[in-house]
Structures are given as C-alpha cells and as structure tokens.
Amino acid sequence: MSVLVPEKYFDLICSRATTAIAIVGMTKNVGKTVTLNYLIRHCAQAGRVTGLVSAGYDGERFDRLTLKDKPRIYAPAGSFVATAKACLDAAGAVMEPLYRSRISTPLGEVWIAVVKEAGLVELAGPGSVSGLKILIEWMSAQGAHPVLIDGAINRQASASPLVAGEVILASGAAVAATLDDVIRKTLYRCILLETPALEDKRMERKAREAICSAGAAVLHPSGSDWKVELLSAPIPLMTGAGLKVRCEQEMSAVVLGGALVDKLLIDLLALPSPPLLVLRDATRFFVSAELFYRYLNSGGVIRVLDPIKLCAVTLNPTDPLGKGYPPQEFLKLVGEALAPRPVFDLILKNKFS
C-alpha cells in the first residue's frame, strides 16, 4: 500500500469543492487545535484563503480547567476570522472588521474580520449550528476556501451536513484509560459518523416530507408505496411513547426528526424484528455503543438522509492528565483498528497506511 504524506492528502481534501471542513473531537486534549493549525499552515503555504471559525472557544493562552498551556492559533494575512468582538479587540493579529453577525456569545457579538497582519487570534464562536451556517456562508462568499470549523470538547453538532462538507475526527490517548478503550470508542464514533445514506430515493422523499411537518413518522407498507403516519409533538424526543405504539403495527420504517436516544432503541428492540430507522444525519446519535450494536446485530438497520463525509482521523498519543503512548506504536495500533480510514499523527507527520 502506498504511503500518503499528510500534505498530499490534505491538499486533495482542501482542493475539493467543499465549502467547510469541520474538526470534531472525541473529548478534550485530543489535538483539535493541532489539527486546525496544521490545516491553517498547510492552506497558507498552498496559497489558499481560509476562513476560521470555532464551534466553541479556541486559541486561549491556557486551558481553563487544567491551567496547562494550549497551542495558540496563528492567523495568516488575508484569512478571514469569525470571532466575538472582545476577542477581536484583544487579538495579536491586526484585523479589519467587515461584518457584524448579531450572533451573541458571552463575549459579545460575533464579527467577521479579515487579517491584515498575521498574528495570534482567539476564536469564540456561536453556540448553534444556525450561527455557524451564517458565518460560513458569509466567509465563503468572500472567497474563503476552505472554511475551517474548529471543534469544541466532544461536541459534534458542527459536523452537521448543514455546515460541513468534510469532517476530520480528532482522537487520542485522552479518550480512555486503556488503549483498547481508546480504539473501541474511536471506532464507534467513526461508525456512527459514517452511517450510510438511505438508498431508496422514493422512501427518502417521503421521509423528508414527513419530518418537515412532524417530529417523527412511521411508514406503513401500502401496496408498492407507503402510508405515512405522522407523529407530532413539541419536539421529536416527546414522540417516544406514541411511536412505540405505532410500531406495533406492520411497518417499513421509522423516521426520526430529532435525537436518537437509548430509550427509543430499547423500545424498538422489544419488537419482533427491529425496523429500518431513518435519522436526519449522524449528529443525532445519543446512544450507547452497546445498544447500537445490539440493534444492528438483531437485524435492525439505521440510515440517514444526509450523510457525513469523514475524511480523516488525527491522533494525539499524549494525554496531559494521564498516560501517553509511544507515538509510532499508537499510530500503528489505532491505524490498524480503524483501517481503511486514513489515520494521521500530524506531529509525526505520518499516516498509517
């Protein structure tokens, strides 16, 4: 198998027609900022204009909880930066504010600025996907390609296909106490993120229509078509009890407009045969690995309407609060377990392959 150097690989990713690349993390201290900085540097060298936005807060001097130093974020001249007003004022980089978004954060409204003189920035982003979407679209329209979405802790909403065309998952030693658990949890997250799209186009259309007007729906077979039974509730989560009853009749699929939680999977597992479950996208999973696998092993199938493109996994073999691993070995073992996904250690500048 040929060895891809990360530069070449990320060249490929960044040159695709993608608007935005989201970096999501398994938890804190898995190297999200290192991955972001790598992409910023790489794009600058390749002459690309990047847009920088965070789904959380990044670039601060030290970690607010562990008080340990953190990697800073250096924004190159010409790039666009979306951040709270207070961070704009305190930035080391010289920036010209261009757009006031009216998206509020605890540090003031988010502005978009263009970097006039390169320097350090702190990224304080919006708390919602709708906010991210506005900022990404604005930067993209101004010529940012790609927009890099920095992640926050273990939050994955920014991986939503509504905002990100490609997703990079950052994982590492900090995920669990043992190597086996690091691998197990990372693999599970990959599998969730990569949940395949619903292939049946006719059913897809029905499903989309259904969750436009209701929180959830059950598709009952009706000749060669389906009879759609809508379940309305203030939020999809509240359809749970009603959904269970509807599922006891003959049906082809359950379509869910919101979060998939453990309780619903337990209900569905109690049916004679677990049905096809259709979610909006893979950011809607809130289920334990054990139940998820049990559902699949019992013949259940889960599909999404809008798939996520997981393009790479980056690894941090160190854990500031626990034990670390020898980098080469960590990359090899995790890389083998996640194969054929491209897995990188960007400090080692290496890819397992």
Partner 1 sequence: MQIDLTRIKAYGDTMDDGAMQLSFTLPVPPGEEAREAARQMALQMGLDTPSVVEMADLGVGFSFFVVYGKCRHYVDYTAIKIPKRQLHVMTFKEINSAIKEHLGRKVTVVAACTGSDAHTVGIDAIVNMKGYAGEYGLERYPEIDAYNLGSQVPNAELLTKAVACHADAVLVSQVVTQRNIHLENLTELVELAEAEGIRDKMIFICGGPRISHELAIELGFDAGFGSGTLPNHVASFIVNELIRRQKAGPE
Structure tokens at 172: 């590492």
Count residues binding partner 1 (CB under 8 A): 52
DSSP structure class, residue 323 = -
Least separation in angstroms between residue 153's CB and partner 1 is 5
Taking CB under 8 A as the criterion, the residue among 152, 170, 218, 254 binding partner 1 is 152
- CA distances 75 to 31, 100, 115, 192, Å, are 18, 19, 7, 32
Structure tokens at 83: 């951040």
Structure tokens at 92: 């080391």
CB under 8 A: which stretch of 101-109, 140-148, 310-318, 345-353 binds partner 1?
101-109
Interhelix angle 6-15/32-45, rounded to 10 degrees, is 80
User: Any idea how long the chain is?
Assistant: 353
Least separation in angstroms between residue 53's CB and partner 1 is 12
How wide is the angle at C-alpha 306 spanned by C-alphas 160 and 252, nearest 5°? 135
* Interaction pattern, residues 177-216, with partner 1; x per rule: CB under 8 A: ----------------------------------------
Radius of gyration, CA atoms only, the chain: 21
Taking CB under 8 A as the criterion, the residue among 18, 27, 140, 252 binding partner 1 is 27
Structure tokens at 317: 């073999």
Q: Does 239 bind partner 1 (CB under 8 A)?
A: no
Alpha-carbon 5 to chain mean position: 24
Least separation in angstroms between residue 283's CB and partner 1 is 6
Q: Does 89 bind partner 1 (CB under 8 A)?
A: yes
Nearer to partner 1, 89 or 225 (CB): 89
Q: Does 337 bind partner 1 (CB under 8 A)?
A: no
How far is residue 298's CA from residue 294's CA, in Å, rounded to a whole number? 6
Q: Which residue matches tokens 């493109």? A: 309
- Bridge partners (DSSP) of residue 264 are none
Residues between 291 and 330 with contacts to partner 1, criterion CB under 8 A = 321
Q: Does 84 bind partner 1 (CB under 8 A)?
A: yes
Q: Which residue matches tokens 């609060």? A: 321
How far is residue 205's CA from residue 224's CA, in Å, rounded to a whole number? 15
Taking CB under 8 A as the criterion, the residue among 81, 124, 149, 268 binding partner 1 is 124
Nearer to partner 1, 316 or 350 (CB): 316
Q: Which residue matches tokens 């390749």? A: 46
Taking CB under 8 A as the criterion, the residue among 72, 133, 155, 208 binding partner 1 is 155
Taking CB under 8 A as the criterion, the residue among 20, 28, 166, 171 binding partner 1 is 28
Q: Does 130 bind partner 1 (CB under 8 A)?
A: yes
Least separation in angstroms between residue 328's CB and partner 1 is 26
Nearer to partner 1, 12 or 321 (CB): 321
Whether the CB-CB separation of 264 and 243 falls below 8 Å is answered with yes
Whether the CB-CB separation of 27 and 153 falls below 8 Å is answered with yes
Q: Does 232 bind partner 1 (CB under 8 A)?
A: no
Q: What residue type is 36 in one-letter code?
A: L
DSSP structure class, residue 147 = E
Nearer to partner 1, 259 or 348 (CB): 259
Nearer to partner 1, 30 or 49 (CB): 30
Whether the CB-CB separation of 343 and 334 falls below 8 Å is answered with yes
Taking CB under 8 A as the criterion, the residue among 237, 287, 305, 343 binding partner 1 is 237
Binding site for partner 1 (CB under 8 A): 27-28, 55-58, 60, 64-66, 84-87, 89-92, 102, 104-108, 122, 124-125, 127-130, 152-157, 174, 234-238, 257-259, 261, 263, 283-284, 286, 321
